[in-house]
Chains A and B, each alone.
Chain A
Amino acid sequence: MRETRLWSLHILVLPIIAVLLGAHFAVMHYAPVFYGMSVEKAREFSTMIERGKSITQLVLYILLLAAGLYHGMYGVRGIIRELPLTPTLAKLVDVGIIAFGLFIFALGTYVTWWTYSYKIGG
């Protein structure tokens, strides 16, 4: 059941991506429509920090990171491993993709946490 589970998961994360990426688009690109705020204002440092102070935002962004990275990294692994590789190289690709995905996830999570715990004026 190994590959079926991995593949099913890459489908199951899609609703999460659809909703959260939609929300991310709404905040960043459609701020004038949804928040009556200009796109420039939505991207300002202070606005960004203010948004990042919400615990909901912290949790949802980490969830989006995890879901997006899993779906993307599963896809990249699929493409690379379709190349003619030796078994050792195939194993290395798997390990490399996991390590890279985790690294980017850790970086994203750290930045989100940094924003959450940012002291304004401090």
Chain B
Amino acid sequence: MTDKTITPREITFRVRRYDPDVDTVPHFDEYRMHVHDGMTVLEALHQIKAEKEPTLAWRSSCRMGVCGSCGMFINHLPMLACQTQVLHLDSDVVTIAPLPNYENVKDLVPNLEPLIEKHAAIKPFIIHTNSKEIDEPTGEFLQSVKERESISQFTHCIKCGLCLAACPTVATDPLFLGPQALAQAYRYTADNRDCGLHGRLEAIDIFHGPYQCHLAGACSQACPKGVDPAFAIQLLKRTLVLDSIGFGKKKSSLAKVMPLADVVKAIEEFAPPPRTVK
């Protein structure tokens, strides 16, 4: 960051307001205040609420980029308010609006219900076929480091919904599953312990599925956790195409099971990593 971007100064916040009881269309209110180095947009909103506008509404919780509640449209890009520093935006006017492509409930609060519904639709859990092992487990399912690495990136999704706000297809298509759900569909399908591709086809191999992704890349740009949903969607397309011509990965049975006795032995042999803090 250049020095200019961390010089504390007066910044104008243009905050979009909407009260469903009073307004029919949203409008912008402006608040001017002093911003210090390191101040996040979320902190600025708190200060505005405390000092200038007590009725201002938004949603936030953890204030450290983990809960995914404070997604907002900041200077025309979807970002988490808690991990966006105001001065790093390098702009004397900061525009804050609710995430687009969702219903706007009040001020900066989007209704994330469609996100959760689409996430649930793709069966975001490991689907087993070996019910005997599930009912009477004899050990633990094995997953190698390599197998884990192939999906690990996509497991970091915090369901903040920024990707859907960035996606051009979601801009018009309310039925499009969207980057979040499709990336999760890949995350579970590619898991070596999962045998659920065919169980998910009804939900994902549809018009409003992965093929409405045209690789605009906006979701991957917006993702605050580096999940790269666009990547997962392209890999999902490959998985589906290979499966449709009979070249899909054969996962007819579960991952190898490590007997419980071996699990206990492995835990006993496991050496903890060296201490990093004295």
Q: Which residues of A contact B240 (CB under 8 A)?
A: 4
Q: Knowing A8-B241, A8-B244, A78-B212 touch, does A3 contact B172 (C-beta < 8 A)?
A: no
Q: Are A83 and B172 in contact (CB-based, < 8 A)?
A: yes
Q: Are A7 and B172 in contact (CB-based, < 8 A)?
A: no
CB neighbors of B among A38-90 (8 A): 78, 81-84, 90
Q: Are B205 and A83 in contact (CB-based, < 8 A)?
A: no
Report if B120 contacts A (CB, 8 A).
no
Q: Knowing A8-B244, A82-B212 touch, does A3 contact B206 (C-beta < 8 A)?
A: yes
Q: Are A81 and B207 in contact (CB-based, < 8 A)?
A: yes
Report if A1 contacts B (CB, 8 A).
yes
**Complex partner residue of A4 from B169, B172, B205, CB under 8 angstroms:** B205
Report if A119 contacts B (CB, 8 A).
no
Report if B188 contacts A (CB, 8 A).
no
1/0 contact string of B211-222 vs chain A (CB within 8 Å) = 110000000000
Cα distance A1–B207 in the bound complex, in angstroms: 11
CB neighbors of B among A65-122 (8 A): 78, 81-84, 90
The secondary-structure label for the interface of chain B is loop
Q: Are A82 and B209 in contact (CB-based, < 8 A)?
A: no
Q: Are B207 and A4 in contact (CB-based, < 8 A)?
A: no
**Complex partner residue of B173 from A3, A8, A84, CB under 8 angstroms:** A84
Q: Which residues of B contact A1 (CB under 8 A)?
A: 201, 205, 243-244
Q: Which residues of A contact B201 (CB under 8 A)?
A: 1
Cα distance A5–B241 in the bound complex, in angstroms: 8
Report if B226 contacts A (CB, 8 A).
no
Q: Which residues of A contact B20 (CB under 8 A)?
A: none
Report if B174 contacts A (CB, 8 A).
yes
Q: Knowing A1-B201, A1-B244, A2-B205 touch, does A7 contact B211 (C-beta < 8 A)?
A: yes
Report if B18 contacts A (CB, 8 A).
no
Q: Which residues of A contact B207 (CB under 8 A)?
A: 3, 81, 90
Which residue of A has the minimal Cβ distance to B242? A4
A-B pairs, 7 with minimum CB distance: A7-B211, A4-B244, A82-B173, A4-B240, A1-B244, A82-B172, A83-B172
13 CB-based A-B contacts, threshold 8 Å = A1-B201, A3-B206, A3-B209, A3-B211, A4-B243, A4-B244, A7-B241, A78-B211, A78-B212, A81-B173, A82-B172, A82-B173, A82-B212
